[in-house]
Amino acid sequence: MTDRYLSVPSPGLHEIEIRRSRFLCALAPVAGEAAAREAIAARRKAEPAARHHCHAFVLGPDGRTQRSSDDGEPAGTAGIPMLEVLRRRGVTDTVAVVSRHFGGVLLGAGGLIRAYGQAVSEALDAVGVVEYRRLRLVDVEVDYTRAGRLENDLRSSSYTLNETRFDATAHFEVGLGTDEEAPFAAWLADLTGGEAVLTRLGEEWVRSV
């Protein structure tokens, strides 16, 4: 079971031009196949003059779901090269749609494979990627006399401070890797004189800052 994966942080669009053909690559983070299909349909609507809207998407932390389409381009020249870029870069929960405006010059099978792969690769470089980690969330409860120092120390530590809540007492939701639980408990006890109350909340995918 994987404990981390990469995805794009937000939707983005990048264009390249090869021998007068324009290749517009749209990338978007998606949570499932229905969302990926919606993103593909949106690109068709946004670029009605494009001759082809080829796509590829990878879903799930382990990248188990993978789909691609050449959308009328010669078989194997668009969707598969796009999918291969996503796989090679380790990107998942992401859809790529490349809308091609034909420029009048035939590129041939090799040229199309390079063009569609390049469009996705450059779009990923432009948009960037973010890491998500599977973390074990814990709630740390302390009284207000210790809250200020604890928050400062948490923010400067290697641990992930996910949320803060202040009501009758101060609460800090902290994300821990599987090998961090015991060191964190010892660190917390030392810092608070053993007065902090630690409650396990379960696991969650958390975007790394």
Whole-angstrom distance, CA of residue 112 vs CA of residue 54: 11
Q: Which residues in the chain land under pLDDT 70?
A: 1, 209
φ, ψ for residue 89, nearest 5 deg? -85, -5
Residue 209 pLDDT: 65
Residue-wise pLDDT tens digits, 75-98: 999 999 999 999 999 999 999 999
Residue 201 pLDDT: 92
Reading phi first (left if > 0) and then psi (alpha if -120 to 50, else beta), residue 172 is in beta
Residue 105 pLDDT: 81
Sheet holding 52-59, edge to edge: 12-18, 21-29, 94-101, 52-59, 65-69
Domains and CATH numbers, the chain: 4-128 (3.30.230.30), 133-207 (3.30.70.240)
Cα-based torsion angle of the residue sequence 60, 4, 171, 142 in order, rounded to the nearest 10 degrees: 150
Whole-angstrom distance, CA of residue 95 vs CA of residue 5: 15
Residue-wise pLDDT tens digits, 139-157: 999 999 999 999 999 999 9
First CA to last CA distance, the chain: 22
Over its C-alpha atoms, the chain yields an Rg (Å, rounded) of: 23
